[in-house]
Chain A
Amino acid sequence: MSTPKPTPQKAPQMPADTTDAATDAAAQFVARYQAESPAREAWRMFRRNIPALVGTAMLLLIIGLTLYGTLIYTGDPFDIVWAPHEAPFVEPDFPLGTDYLGRDLMAGLLSGGGPTLAVGAAAAALTMIIGISMGALSGFYGGWVDNLLMRITEFFQVLPALLFAMVLVTLFSPSLITIAIAIGVVSWPQTARLTRAEFLKIKELEYVTAARAIGAGNGRIMWRVILPNALPPLIVSATLTIGVAILFEAGLSFLGLGDPNVMSWGLMIGANRDYILDAWWPVTFPGLAIFFTVFSVSLIGDGLNDAFNPKLRER
Chain B
Amino acid sequence: MSNSYILKRVAYGLILMLCVVVLNFLLIRLAPGDPAVVIAGEMGGATEEMLEQIREEYGLNKPILTQLAIYIGNVATGDLGESFFFNKPVAELISQRIGPTILLVIVAQILSIFLGVFLGVLAARKPNGVMSAFVSVFATIGYAVPVFWTGIMLIILFASVLPIFPVEGMQSVRLRDAPWYVQTIDVAHHLVLPAFTLAVIYLAQYARLSRASMLEVLGSDYIRTARAKGASERTVLFHHALRNAALPILTVAGLQFGNLISGALLVETVFNWPGMGRLAFDSILRRDYPTIMGVLFFASAMVVVANLLTDLSYRLADPRLRGRT
Contacts and interface: CB of A to CB of B under 8 A. Distances in A.
B95 interface: no
Interface in B92-149: 127, 140-141, 143-149
Interface stretch (A24-32, A212-220, A243-251): A243-251
A298 B143 contact: yes
A1 B23 CA distance: 24
Nearest to A154: B16
Contact of A161 (B160, B262, B280, B293): B262
Nearest to B221: A9
A42 interface: no
B32 A12 contact: no
Give the interface centre of B141, B152, B155, B160 by most chain A CB atoms within 10 Å: B152
A170 interface: yes
Contact of A159 (B30, B300, B320): B300
A157 B255 contact: yes
Interface stretch (B46-54, B62-70, B281-289): B281-289
Contact of B266 (A255, A284, A291): A255
B142 to A, nearest CB: 10
Interface stretch (B169-177, B189-197, B212-220): B212-220
B183 interface: no
Contact of B215 (A1, A168, A297, A315): A315
A298 B16 contact: no
Interface string A272-295: 010011001001100100111011
Given A163-B299, A166-B280, A287 B149 contact: yes
Interface in A95-136: none
A3 interface: yes
Contacts of B321: 4
Given A164-B296, A167-B27, A247-B146, A158 B284 contact: no
A269 B280 contact: no
B222 to A, nearest CB: 8
B153 A287 contact: yes
What is the size category of the interface that chain B forms with chain A? 35 or more
Contacts of A12: 221, 224
B31 interface: yes
Interface in B204-253: 212, 215-217, 219-221, 224, 244, 247-248, 251
Nearest to A10: B221
A257 B318 contact: no
B155 A162 contact: no
B226 to A, nearest CB: 13
A304 to B, nearest CB: 14
A294 B262 contact: no
B16 A158 contact: yes
Given A243-B144, A277-B160, A290 B149 contact: yes
B261 interface: yes
Contact of A3 (B23, B159, B215, B248): B248
Question: Which secondary structure dominates where chain B touches chain A?
Answer: helix
A315 B251 CA distance: 22
A154 B145 CA distance: 27
Contacts of B27: 167-168, 171
Contacts of B32: 172-173
A92 interface: no
Contact of A283 (B152, B217, B262, B311): B152
Contact of A6 (B220, B269, B284): B220
Contact of A160 (B221, B244, B303): B303
9 contacts: A164-B296, A171-B27, A172-B32, A254-B266, A255-B281, A284-B153, A287-B146, A294-B144, A294-B146
Interface of B: 16, 19-20, 23, 27, 30-32, 38, 127, 140-141, 143-149, 152-153, 155-156, 159-160, 212, 215-217, 219-221, 224, 244, 247-248, 251, 255, 258-259, 261-263, 265-266, 269-270, 280-281, 284-285, 287, 292-293, 295-296, 299-300, 303-304, 307, 311, 314, 318, 320-321
Give the top 4 A-B pairs by smallest Cβ distance, nearest first: A162-B262, A287-B149, A9-B220, A295-B144
